[in-house]
Structure 1
Amino acid sequence: MEQEFIQNQERLKPQEERQEEERTKVDELRGTPMAVGSLEEIIDDQHAIVSTNVGSEHYVNIMSFVDKEQLEPGCAVLLNHKNHAVIGVLADDTDPMVSVMKLEKAPQETYADVGGLDQQIQEIKESVELPLTHPEYYEEMGIKPPKGVILYGCPGTGKTLLAKAVANQTSATFLRIVGSELIQKYLGDGPKMVRELFRVAEENAPEVAFFQSIVFIDEIDAVGTKRYDSNSGGEREIQRTMLELLNQLDGFDSRGDVKVLMATNRIESLDPALIRPGRIDRKIEFPLPDEKTKRRIFQIHTSRMTLSDDVNLEEFILAKDELSGADIKAMCTEAGLLALRERRMRVTMEDFQKSKENVLYRKKEGAPEELYL
């Protein structure tokens, strides 16, 4: 019997080796795909026509382990990087870049972290928060809430900071994107991303009464500049992306299920069609801080610092230098770094004076800013 068992094992060994070899090949095919394509047409159970993101079409094999029931024209599929064989189906055809834009965790910044800007905070509450939390107020007044809001002003005046505070205060789904991310390499990808952005905003709205989604587009001037005749394919693609954005802005209902929040440093360069009433109903300006606002910003950024008795912040507050909120934060951080450089835990007036000179020099000369940790 022992001899018979050994003979059976020797007879089954080649079969096991072949099975192991086949499993290895399948694992290689199931390895990390190098391309995502779109299924154009199903020829039969084993073959299909797919298109890649560069626009080329291929007649390819459908691997046996792929769930055929999920295959349908137009769905997103995973392609093998060598022969473009279909090795999987993406259950959700949402652009991965758009999915990353959704803030899963609310920012830590609150309105208390915003120095001054009382008027701007009041306006953004009326334009963004109140229509989401109490839309009945607008119905009783017989007016329609603003569809979109744009924040504009000099760099470093708190536009993005205030947008983060809005995300912290509301229970709405908050999607953030930078305008330059809408500029894609291949034709049609930019407008497609805009459509995906607003579709994800609508589909991921919380199922809580009156709370929906907020789309925040920072540096909107990257894609929203004034249109002109251009022979450049890249410029035309940017204009097509903006046209799709205009279409999405006009597609909102009067309730404002999706609120749009934009920010820019150069509102004068934006296309008039983008910021006209009906698309962007509220324009909120962020000026350089006045004395009262400077004082509040200094209090926020020095509240956890140990200051020497000779520190007189009023000297910087009353100065006529055009310091923005970001400049003041940089001054406080730089002053603390100068104290650490000399192994001191107290920040002196001399540290603040040196840090101000450094900040103003970089701002005047256009030198690159240092990294503040």
Structure 2
Amino acid sequence: MGQQQSAHGHGFNRDKKDDKDKKRRYEPPIPTRVGKKKRRAKGPDAAVKLPHITPHARCRLKLLKAERIKDYLLLEEEFLKNIQIAKPQEERQEEERGKVDDLRGSPMAVGTLEEVIDDTHAIVSTSVGSEHYVTILSFVDKDQLEPGCTVLLNHKTHSVIGVLTDDTDPMVSVMKLEKAPKETYADVGGLDNQIQEIKESVELPLTHPELYEEMGIRPPKGVILYGAPGTGKTLLAKAVANQTSATFLRVVGSELIQKYLGDGPKLVRELFRVAEEHAPSIVFIDEIDAIGTKRYESNSGGEREIQRTMLELLNQLDGFDSRGDVKVFAYIIYFFVIMATNRIETLDPALIRPGRIDRKIEFPLPDEVTIRKIFQIHTSRMTIADNVDFEEFIMAKDDLSGADIKAICTEAGLQALRDRRMKVTHEDFKKARESVLYRKKEGAPSGLYI
């Protein structure tokens, strides 16, 4: 019995030990895949090893389906090609232009081409002064690319996407008259000697340059017209431009005075460059005394800028550019300068010396014969009464200019319209003459206002 108890006690102890072993056994945690990448097979064998493919009964059907899809895609491609061919050429060009515009982007920057490296690369400079090594897109016309030209740049990559063919200053474009002036020599009363001189100086070299070549002389480079206001200087310049069918550029001297430093000389260079491009041409600079006055020592920045503008004008009249190379002389390219001023005594001697301004033409106040011709020109289309006697106005010593006579005729017509009449009488001309002289002499005497 004691043995049975002992055996029973040993069995109980063994069960108890097994339970402890079960509790002490280590169980590893379940692995997680968060933050771990799957390892890839490395080595040359893994790169060239073919995947294992198990044949399937439906493989043949899949192949037939893929071939049929390919046939449909080829048919669609051929159909689209035929549509493009059948499209009108204008629509295709419009689509191509749209694609080019997409490549260019918007807005487009403007830069200056400094150097062409090869057909696809160039160096450009922007307005801020920085230089960039950029690419030239394939649709850009390479023949128009030359150092110094203005190019269009993509606003992100700065690639050259176009060339600005007409980079003329807008102010110079306004100076160029698109249509020839309508004034002719018949509209100029009198001034026979002045017309003859300007024909020899400007018109003849433009129409018959071979005469000067046979004589072995050079025609004048420039002509200056001077005289009292209203004596027909601008009118005669327009008549010359009409007679020669030359490009006429008209600029007032005050327009060459610019606000910022260097803009005045730049405008002068641009003016002469446009004149050379549109040769034969005539550059008419009215009121030249605005920039051509005598030089003197001045501490004013504005005065020094005006003097620099005049120096650039002298440089252009000499026939040499800023690089020192001899350019084509004016008599070869038939390019002339006509200046006009009311005060020639105030001009700088270097501006009007021979070689720059070779011919000086004076416009005096009209004499009796000239006044009679001017009255005939301005009254040719007016309805004149029988009692009008122009000799009274012709013989009067009023120092009338051509502009004053035109103003008298216009004022007389307005007097008739004010009285509801279609004919101009002698009394209308008398009132018009008094009105014009009153304004010309700057009003009534001061004693009238006492």
Relative to the length of structure 1, the TM-score reads 0.77
Would you say the 8 A contact 1:157–1:289 is kept in 2?
Answer: yes
Match of 2:418 in 1: 341
Any gaps of 5 or more consecutive residues in structure 1? 1-22, 206-211, 368-373
Q: Does residue 1:284 correspond to 2:361, yes or no?
A: yes
CA distance in 2, matches of 1:68, 1:307: 65
Cα 1:302–1:71 shift into 2, 3 Å: same
Aligned residue among 283, 289, 292 for 1:215: 283
The residue identity in structure 1 corresponding to 2:216 is G
Alignment of 1:1-373 (within 5 A): 30=106, 50-51=126-127, 57=129, 74-76=148-150, 90-205=164-279, 212-251=280-319, 253=329, 255-256=331-332, 257-365=334-442
Cα 1:174–1:317 shift into 2, 3 Å: same
SS at match of 1:337: helix
CA distance in 1, matches of 2:152, 2:408: 50
Cα 1:37–1:270 shift into 2, 3 Å: farther
CA distance in 1, matches of 2:183, 2:398: 27
Q: How many Å apart are 1:182 and its aligned residue?
A: 1.1
Would you say the 8 A contact 1:30–1:87 is kept in 2?
Answer: no
Percent of pairs identical after alignment?
Answer: 79
CA distance in 2, matches of 1:157, 1:232: 35
Q: Deviations 1:125-172 (Å, cap 9, x if unpaired)?
A: 001011122223223333321111000100000000000100110022
The residue identity in structure 2 corresponding to 1:278 is G
Q: How many Å apart are 1:38 and its aligned residue?
A: 5.3
CA distance in 1, matches of 2:416, 2:186: 27
Bigger relative contact order, structure 1 or 2 (CA pairs below 8 A, ≥6 apart): 1
Match of 1:370 in 2: none
Cα 1:344–1:221 shift into 2, 3 Å: same
Cα 1:91–1:293 shift into 2, 3 Å: same
Would you say the 8 A contact 1:311–1:349 is kept in 2?
Answer: yes
CA distance in 1, matches of 2:152, 2:399: 54
Cα 1:255–1:41 shift into 2, 3 Å: closer
Q: How many Å apart are 1:254 and its aligned residue?
A: 6.6
Q: How many Å apart are 1:90 and its aligned residue?
A: 2.8
SS at match of 2:351: helix
Q: How many Å apart are 1:86 and its aligned residue?
A: 10
Q: Which moved more, 1:290-299 or 1:239-248?
A: 239-248
Cα 1:71–1:300 shift into 2, 3 Å: same
Q: Deviations 1:247-281 (Å, cap 9, x if unpaired)?
A: 11110627352111111111111110000011101
CA distance in 2, matches of 1:149, 1:199: 19
Would you say the 8 A contact 1:147–1:259 is kept in 2?
Answer: yes
CA distance in 2, matches of 1:335, 1:159: 25
Would you say the 8 A contact 1:41–1:49 is kept in 2?
Answer: no
SS at match of 1:275: coil
CA distance in 2, matches of 1:106, 1:171: 7
Q: Which moved more, 1:246-255 or 1:70-79?
A: 70-79
Q: Deviations 1:317-361 (Å, cap 9, x if unpaired)?
A: 110001100000001001101111111101111111111111111
Any gaps of 5 or more consecutive residues in structure 2? 1-98, 320-327, 445-450
Q: How many Å apart are 1:188 and its aligned residue?
A: 1.4
Would you say the 8 A contact 1:127–1:282 is kept in 2?
Answer: yes
Would you say the 8 A contact 2:230–2:402 is kept in 1?
Answer: yes
CA distance in 1, matches of 2:267, 2:330: 24
Cα 1:41–1:131 shift into 2, 3 Å: closer
CA distance in 1, matches of 2:151, 2:295: 36
Match of 1:10 in 2: none
Cα 1:37–1:325 shift into 2, 3 Å: farther
